[in-house]
Amino acid sequence: MEIAAYKPYGDHEFESLIERIHPPRVCIDNDSCRDSTIVKVDSANKHGILLEMVQVLTDLDLLILRSYICSDGSWLMDVFHVTDQLGNKITDESLIHYIEQAICASRRGSKEIQTCVGRNVRPRHFSMEHTAMEMTGTDRPGLMSEISAVLAELGCHVSGAVAWTHNNRAACIVYMEDELKHGPILDSYRVAQIQAQLENVVEAHHYEGERRSVRLAAPAASQTHTERRLHQLMAADRDYEQCCSCGYEDDVLHRQRKGCNSTEVKIGNCKEKGYSIVTVRSIDRPKLLFDTICTLTDLQYVVFHASISSFESIAVQEYYVRHKNGWTLDSESERRRMTQNLMAATARRVSHGLRLDVTTQNRVGLLSDITRIFRENGLSISRAEVGVQGEKAVGTFYVKDASGQAVNPETLEIVRREIGGTVLVANNSSGRPSSQPSTLSNTSPSISTSSSSSKQDKPGFSLGSMFWSQLEWLSSNFRPIKS
């Protein structure tokens, strides 16, 4: 029996009418579950809305413990079990109100800035006020140090950055402004000059014909979420090509000890209903759900039903999907592509190395100075986020010795003294900051603009420098599939 093709994009005026007649309903329940707050969403369906809802929750650094998705047809009923980073229920009334507003706003495509819990809360992972630089290429120690030095020399003030590395590939997004004019860089001649200089840096260690890309983009009214954009950049750079699964019978933890990708993907078909069933089993961590949904959405697959849960340290995600054109995953090439992309998506954010959280006074050239200190002391960055909080710059860096070994304590102390400010150190395995006041820790990045250490985990990235991830408040930690 043939299954009619699913058509997610219909008449926009009709969709708008349906939403006016049946506006989304968000119910936040703290009574039904002992260990988590339940967020229930009942709404007219639209392609991409699942990612938007998950993005709202993860941008608030909430951990998604379990989720049940049902969005067959023109209506959706989704349930998320969430806690804060400490495992507590969400009880703050202003935060609850914000979640309700933000999910409804995401349905309408609205991105207004709103106030919550005494601070500005907005989509943190994109900036509409800064020029953005996107780069992909071969990962190597010192790359970010060289990039940030060029930007400083050309009078570009870095407001934030995010950098990931995976399979010897690197991707970063840097937001910057004119040092003198304190605004986006709009002069076309200057933009071309900056891009040419950055291309020279990226090309310096590439072989002829090797993949690389540098692009500067002017501020736009609507931009893709930074972390989703990083997934897209790395996928376009084909970082997934080296991802291949071990046997499905291997235990995830056992495979991780063997050094294999700790993710296994199984794909089957439910012929009676016309779905493909995609099961992803991996080590649990924060933002895992966001990363998976990003990949499925960007591969143009629609999630009709899903069940997400975690057992001890293992997360199991089961999705019933079809391509947006209605097709299932029938060919071996399609299944292999899906498997490789999902394995890459779960691995990109995994951090390798020691986590350093830096909070210091923001100033022009700060990113260049910090990345230079790492490089001069033989450290490479496997992943980084940098952002601004008021007059402080806050950054999270995952660093390794140039040989890939653990960082020597003496080297760490030298780095701490040279950076200044507050540096917290967190053991990558525990993800908990050390009580020592001057060590880099497991918090969110923010080296280029503001202070205040935030908490965030990101994949390792050897671009010998760091990147800021974003706006006003950065904090996000890795924990069980909670995001």
Could you tell me which of 450, 370, 471 has the C-alpha nearest to residue 416?
Answer: 370
Q: pLDDT tier at 6 (50, 70, 90 boundaries)?
A: very low
Q: Which pLDDT value is given to residue 62?
A: 94
To which residue do tokens 């990345």 refer? Answer: 371
Question: Is the pLDDT assigned to residue 346 strictly greater than 90?
Answer: yes
Q: pLDDT tier at 144 (50, 70, 90 boundaries)?
A: very high
Please state, rounded to an integer, the average pLDDT across all residues of the chain. 78
DSSP E strands, 208-313: 213-217, 264-270, 275-283, 301-311
Q: Which pLDDT value is given to residue 292?
A: 97
Please, are residues 474 and 445 in contact by the beta-carbon 8 Å criterion?
yes
Q: Could you report the per-residue pLDDT of 70-115, keeping only the tens digit for each?
A: 987 778 899 999 999 999 999 999 999 999 988 877 555 444 434 4
Q: Which pLDDT value is given to residue 126?
A: 54
Q: Which pLDDT value is given to residue 251?
A: 52
Question: Is the pLDDT assigned to residue 442 strictly greater than 70?
Answer: no
Please, are residues 163 and 466 in contact by the beta-carbon 8 Å criterion?
yes
- Helix locations, 283-331, DSSP H: 288-298
Share above pLDDT 70 across residues of the chain, in percent, rounded to a whole number: 74
Higher pLDDT, residue 426 or 457: 426
Work out the average pLDDT over 286-299.
96
Q: 10 Å Cβ neighbour count for 118? A: 8
Phi (first) and psi of residue 80, to 5 degrees: -125, 130
Could you tell me which of 109, 30, 55 has the C-alpha nearest to residue 291?
Answer: 55
Q: Which pLDDT value is given to residue 425?
A: 87
User: Sign of torsion, CA 176 483 295 49?
Assistant: negative
Helix then strand then coil, % of the chain, to nearest 5: 30, 30, 40
Q: Cα 197 from chain centroid? A: 27
**What is the spatial distance between Cα 105 and Cα 66, in angstroms, rounded to a whole number?**
23
The region of weakest confidence among 132-141, 144-153, 256-265, 345-354 is 256-265
Question: Is the pLDDT assigned to residue 129 strictly greater than 80?
Answer: no
Q: Which pLDDT value is given to residue 12?
A: 52
Phi (first) and psi of residue 401, to 5 degrees: -60, 150
Work out the average pLDDT over 322-338.
93
Q: Which pLDDT value is given to residue 432?
A: 37
Work out the average pLDDT over 184-201.
90
Q: Which pLDDT value is given to residue 232?
A: 95
Please, are residues 182 and 103 in contact by the beta-carbon 8 Å criterion?
no
Cα torsion 121, 126, 131, 133 to 10°: value is: 150
Could you tell me which of 409, 457, 458 has the C-alpha nearest to residue 433?
Answer: 457
3-class SS of residue 342 = helix
**What is the spatial distance between Cα 89 and Cα 176, in angstroms, rounded to a whole number?**
37
Work out the average pLDDT over 124-147.
83
Q: Which pLDDT value is given to residue 23?
A: 66
Q: Could you report the per-residue pLDDT of 355-413, keeping only the tens digit for each?
A: 999 999 998 899 999 999 999 999 999 999 998 888 889 999 999 987 777 889 999 99
Question: Is the pLDDT assigned to residue 459 strictly greater than 50?
Answer: no
Share above pLDDT 90 across residues of the chain, in percent, rounded to a whole number: 51
Higher pLDDT, residue 181 or 27: 27
Amino acid letter, 209: G
- The DSSP code sequence of 87-129 is S-----HHHHHHHHHHHHHHHHT----EEETTEEE--TT--SS
- The DSSP code sequence of 158-205 is EEEEEEEEETTEEEEEEEEEETTT-S----HHHHHHHHHHHHHHHHTT
Higher pLDDT, residue 376 or 207: 376
